[in-house]
Amino acid sequence: MSREKLSGAEIVIEELKDEGVEVAFGIPGGVLLDLYDVIYKQDAIRHILMRHEQCAAHAADGYARVSGRTGVCIATSGPGATNLVTGLANASMDSVPVVALTGQVVTSAIGTNAFQEASTFTITMPVTKHNFLVKRTEDLPKVIHNAFHIASTGRKGVVLVDLPKDVLADVAKVNLHPKETFAGYKPNIKPNKVQTKKTAETLATAERPLILAGGGVISSNATEELRSLAELLGAGVVTTLMGKGAIPEDHPLCLGMAGMHGHVYANRAINECDALLALGTRFSDRLTAWQLDQFAPDATMIHVDIDTAEINKNIQVDIPIVGDVKLALDDILKWLEKHKKLGGKSVWMQRIKEMHSACDECIKDVKRAGTSLSDMFVKELNRILDDDAVITTEVGQCQMFAAHYYMTKRPRRFITSGGLGTMGFGFPAAIGAQVGAPDNKVVDIAGDGSFLMTCQDLATCVENDIPVVVCILDNRYLGMVRQWQELFFDKKYSHTGLGLTPDFVKLAEAFGCYAERVEKPEGLKDVLGNAFKSGKPAVIDLIVGKDDKILPMIPPGGGIMGMIGTERCKHI
């Protein structure tokens, strides 16, 4: 392409268009005026003005998770950029592709403590996959291209581009849309065929094979391959929190989420299996609990992950495979289908199906003994919402009630903060999810403590006609912390009562949203229907008890079989 004479701001926008960017979430500032002037003059990229930069990052995150595309957020220099950090750390820990564009003071002023200067490059380095401080306008085409390439390939993640004001304002002759990338950046995506063959042989001869599906299954679009392998082997499937939706949770081989707040039978299956195929997971402490020697103690451990650093980091494995999950599963399936060396697993399959039925019964029985209002509200959402509805969650009890009791049937339909556990994530993530999936119903299952952290962006929803529905499990407490204080700190409820909190119905109405309060689960269907019919952003205040607890759970220091609160689970 012939060289064009453009300002840095024009170059940035042209490169964003070339990368297929359709929407960006951001807030302008003084050093970004050149960029926002160009945004004003074009209509290819929709800009959504957020009310807080952290929400911009979370919205880009939610958009990326539900759409499978790279999310984009924009913030000005100094406090604008530092407000992004929590959102970028959140996306980074959950391997979500996000490109963040931040403004910076002019290059000659960097390091002088100029007005609204912050060392964004160094501050964000620990929470990004890569970042750039651009000092020449001529470098912008290659930098923007590389930012998207790095964010969306290999182990997906966050890339930040710091843009000094003079770099955006200056004019340069450049070749747009370069295709070359960093010579040194070559993520390994092709799995070793010797290792995939060894895996196939191990799974074929195992008597009790189990598949552990992490978020990597969803990000690599390997859900069909996962289901095919499970059905071919007669293997049960358990998921991590990030892997929820990798297999339909009503599938007879699915045992749901494992780990600290997982299903009893998912954890039992891990304890009983003799071969564990872990796909796209980092074996976090919330999955394995605190006694690693009790995690799949009798199993041959196989770990497939695109990031070499995750292999043998937390769990020592017998067969490591570095590469893309989809490609690895494809190789394993081809070997099994060719050699047809599957041993008899009828006893294990029957065991898996019995455990699945026990889980299914617990979830579908809305008034099961020992259930709480929080349980019942989430179970009621199962009855009301269709399979394409997108659920986002805040963090705490609301998150675990949703993860435990909401049955997800499709990938990219359950969006939550995994590694960082960020309160306030769910609502702005729902904004991004709704923009990424405009024809789907989007519901944020929130806690009152989390929602109060980011509720100002109701204004964003109203202004931009983004009809998300927030269902608040309202107990006037920081529920998860209170639960721990009750169970492990002799009921000393230190600073977990929220005290005087707003009337959420009036708060929502003040922003121009639809709002209602519900005190009984059977009233949720009509109210939720009214919310969707309104076409407005909506807040539904669900009154629940302060003593509601999400059980069972693994207590501190316990192993994966050390769950407490299992009394209400059917024993098989």
What pLDDT score does 572 carry? 60
DSSP letter, residue 174: E
In 3D space, the residue among 363, 166, 409, 130 whose CA is nearest the CA of residue 262 turns out to be: 363
The mean pLDDT of 143-152, rounded to a whole number, is 97
Distance CA 424, CA 55 (A): 8
**Tokens describing residue 448:** 């009152």
The three-class DSSP label of residue 7 is: strand
Q: Which of 10, 15, 53, 394 is catalytic?
A: 53
Q: What are the structure tokens assigned to 209, written together?
A: 């094979």
Is the pLDDT confidence value at 60 over 80?
A: yes
Q: How far apart are CA 76 and CA 306, in angstroms?
A: 33
Residue 472 CA to residue 504 CA, distance in Å, equals: 9
Tokens representing 241 are 């929190």
Q: Which of 129, 135, 133, 71 is nearest to 102 (CA)?
A: 133
125 belongs to the catalytic site = no
Annotation marks residue 115 as catalytic: yes
Orientation angle between helical segments 373-384 and 524-534, nearest 10 degrees:
50
Average pLDDT of span 456-476: 98
pLDDT value for 369: 59
Write the DSSP assignment of 82-96 as a string of letters. Answer: HHHHHHHHHHHHTT-
The confidence band for 4, taking pLDDT boundaries of 50, 70 and 90, is confident
What pLDDT is attached to residue 368? 66
Q: Using one digit for the tens of pLDDT, what is the confidence trace for 292-321?
A: 989 999 999 999 999 999 999 999 999 999
Q: And the tokens for 57? A: 């990052």
Asked if 227 and 246 count as a contact pair (C-beta separation under 8 A), the reply is no
Q: What is the pLDDT of residue 570?
A: 65
Cα–Cα–Cα angle for 47, 388, 87, rounded to 5 degrees: 40
Q: Mean per-residue pLDDT for 118-131?
A: 98
Number of H helices and E strands in the chain, helices first, is 22, 20
Closest among 256, 245, 516, 521 to 379, alpha carbons compared:
521
CA atoms of 320 and 412, how far apart (whole Å):
27
The one-character DSSP state at 139 is: G
Q: What is the per-residue pLDDT for 345?
A: 81
Q: 294 an active-site residue? A: no
Residues whose CB is less than 8 angstroms from the CB of residue 334 and which lie 6 or more positions away in sequence, other chains included: none
Rounded to whole angstroms, how far apart are CA atoms 68 and 501?
37
Whether 256 and 266 have beta carbons less than 8 Å apart is answered as: yes
301, 355, 376, 480: the catalytic one is: 480
Determine the pLDDT at residue 180: 83
- The DSSP annotation for 53-81 comes to HHHHHHHHHHHHHHHSS-EEEEE-TTHHH
Q: Is the pLDDT of residue 366 over 90?
A: no
Whose tokens are 């409820």? That residue is 493
Cβ 418 vs Cβ 61: under 8 Å: no
Phi/psi of residue 275, each to 5°? -150, 125
pLDDT tens per residue, range 191-208? 999 999 999 999 999 999
Give CA separation, 361 vs 234, 244, 405, in Å. 21, 19, 11
What average pLDDT does the segment 153-164 reach?
Answer: 98
Q: Which of 165, 244, 345, 536 is catalytic?
A: 165
d(CA 324, CA 156): 11
pLDDT digits (tens, 9 = 90+) for 409-421: 999 999 999 999 9
- The separation between the first and the last C-alpha atoms of the chain, rounded to the nearest angstrom, is 67
DSSP symbols for 426-464 = HHHHHHHHHHHSTTS-EEEEEEHHHHHHHGGGHHHHHHT
Task: For residue 568, give the amino acid letter.
Answer: R
> How much is the average pLDDT of 259-278?
96
Give the DSSP letter string of 255-305. EEE-STTS-HHHHHHHHH-SEEEEES----HHHH-S-GGGSSTTSEEEEEE
* Interval 345-363: pLDDT, tens: 889 999 999 999 988 888 8
What is the C-alpha to C-alpha distance for residues 380 and 443, in angstroms, rounded to an integer? 13
Question: What confidence category does residue 340 fall into, taking pLDDT thresholds of 50, 70 and 90?
Answer: confident
Q: Name the maximum alpha-carbon separation found in the chain.
A: 72
**Banded pLDDT at 339 (limits 50, 70, 90):** confident
Vertex 84 angle, CA 82 and 87, to 5°: 135
pLDDT on residue 181: 84
Quote the CA–CA distance of 127 and 239 in Å, as a whole number: 25
Catalytic residue selected from 17, 22, 116, 546: 116
Q: Specify whether the backbone of 271 is left (phi greater than 0), alpha (psi in -120 to 50) or beta.
A: alpha
Contact assessment for residue 134 and residue 162, using Cβ atoms and an 8 Å cutoff:
yes
pLDDT value of residue 371: 78
Is pLDDT at 35 greater than 80 in this prediction?
yes
Report whether 100 contacts 158 (CB < 8 A).
yes
Asked if residue 132 lies in contact with residue 140, where contact means CB atoms within 8 angstroms, the answer is no
Q: Is there a catalytic annotation at residue 41? A: no
Domains in the chain, CATH or no CATH each: 4-174 (3.40.50.970), 193-357 (3.40.50.1220), 373-543 (3.40.50.970)
Mean pLDDT value across the chain? 95
Contact assessment for residue 289 and residue 559, using Cβ atoms and an 8 Å cutoff: yes
Give tens-digit pLDDT for 229-252.
Answer: 999 999 999 999 999 999 999 999
To the query of whether residue 407 is one of the catalytic residues in this protein, the response is no
CA distance 305 to 325: 7
Three-state secondary structure call for residue 500: coil
Q: pLDDT tens-digit profile of 507-545?
A: 999 999 999 999 999 999 999 999 999 999 999 999 999
What is the rounded CA–CA span in Å between residue 420 and residue 87? 9
Residue 571 has pLDDT above 70, yes or no: no
Percent of the chain, pLDDT > 90?
Answer: 91
**Nearest CA to 214 among 139, 123, 276?**
276
| pLDDT at site 360 | 85
Do residues 375 and 402 touch, judged by C-beta distance below 8 A?
no
* Token digits of residue 146: 């590389």
Instruction: Considering only residues 4 and 395, tell me which one the structure prediction assigns the higher pLDDT.
Output: 395
User: In this structure, what token pair is assigned to residue 301?
Assistant: 């451990």
Residue tagged active-site, from 115, 182, 488, 489: 115
Q: Taking 60 as the threshold, does the pLDDT of residue 1 lie above it? A: no
